Amino acid sequence: MFEKIVLSSYRFILSLQEELTLPSYLGSTLRGGFGGAFRRICCLTREAECKECILKEKCPYAYIFCTAPPSYAEVLKNLSSIPRPYILEPPPPSKRKIYEKGSQLAFNLTLIGKAREYLPYFIVCFKEFGNWGIGKKKGKFWLESILARNLFNGEERIIYSCKDEMVKNFSWQVSLEDAFHYSRDFSGNKLRLHFTTPTRLKFEESYQGTPEFHILMRALLRRLSSLAVFHCGVKLDVDYKNIIAKAQKIRLIDNHTRWVDWERYSSRQRCSMKFGGIIGEAEYEGDNISLFLPYIIFGEFIHLGKNTTFGLGRYEVIDFRK
């Protein structure tokens, strides 16, 4: 079952064709721009909302951006929060706002489960996005190259270049089962995480400013479970109650996180929206902490909490030791 929960990751490199002024964090800029390009290319009916469209179950745009339970899944029809099958990882926030003509802009794209089949759509849509333009002044760019990424050893391989515009049929597939195999080489009772983008952990209807371990694991298992069902076609068959009971015994022994607010403008809703979350480092300790490591490792790839499509909820394992 774990071998069917899979993803693939790619690095997109853009070449800017004119000077641009961009925000310090590009998650919303990239997501909004290529989302618009995706809709222009794929939407046939031009309905205002995908849920009203008769083609929604066959439309690539509806699947990627407005994921809904299939019509035959009566038990799931009332779910309103289904995770999207992709994650954009923009460059780290920077004070740099002016990008010179000819400079490069790189970001990572992770596709989960069935969404891996849609990579050609992402390529075409980012090329269209480049012709349309990025940022308020609609600066043009080229999609220069795409590299497949091996998330375990850092290896990268070019699968697309603007020089010949050929796409190679290659990617590294990473599964939850791979994370279990990878974690066998580690042992210890202390774990340190670095939350690099605002991480929005919700517990008992409230967003949490302190990343208690059981709250982190609840959010991670919820996300894994939904991604597995809706995008990988498999149920995450684990003992949730037992896992959470053990997670509650893991102690937060060092907390250097802080709450930050990130604001974006939604063109669709025509208003500014605030997405707050924690960033910083947290260290945990417990005798059974190694049992959680496979999930934590895979969580590095799928992110954690709300609004992950913008790159939020990204964290790294920076230390695991006795």
The domain segmentation of the chain, as residue ranges, is 7-173, 175-321
User: What dihedral do alpha carbons 214, 217, 218, 220 form, nearest 10°?
Assistant: 160
- Residue 321 has what pLDDT? 61
Reading the block at residue 99, the tokens are: 């990008």
CA distance 262 to 156: 31
**Calpha distance 210→214 (Å, rounded):** 11
β-strands 174-175, 6-16 pairing:
antiparallel
Q: Answer yes or no: are the C-beta atoms of 259 and 277 closer than 8 Å.
A: yes
At residue 288, the pLDDT reads 87
| Parallel/antiparallel/unpaired status of strands 190-199 and 315-321 | antiparallel
One DSSP character per residue, 127-147 reads HHHHHH-BTTTTB-EEEEEEE
Closest CA to 210 of 274, 276, 278: 278
Of residues 124, 111, 148, 126, the one with CA closest to residue 11:
148
Task: State the pLDDT at residue 145.
Answer: 96
pLDDT tens digits in sequence order for the chain, 322 residues long:
899 999 999 999 999 999 888 888 888 888 888 888 888 888 888 777 777 787 877 888 889 988 876 554 444 444 556 899 999 999 887 776 788 898 999 999 999 999 999 999 999 999 999 998 887 788 899 999 999 999 999 999 999 999 988 899 999 999 999 999 998 878 788 999 999 999 999 998 888 999 999 999 999 999 999 999 999 999 999 999 999 999 999 999 999 999 998 766 555 556 566 778 999 999 999 988 999 999 999 999 999 998 899 899 999 998 776 5
Evaluate whether 270 touches 224 at the Cβ level (below 8 Å): no
**CATH architecture of residue range(s) 175-321:** 2-Layer Sandwich (3.30)
Phi-psi region at 135: left, alpha or beta (left = phi > 0; alpha = psi -120 to 50): left
Q: Output the pTM of the full model.
A: 0.90
- Type of residue numbered 124: V
What's the CA gap between 208 and 186, in Å, rounded? 29
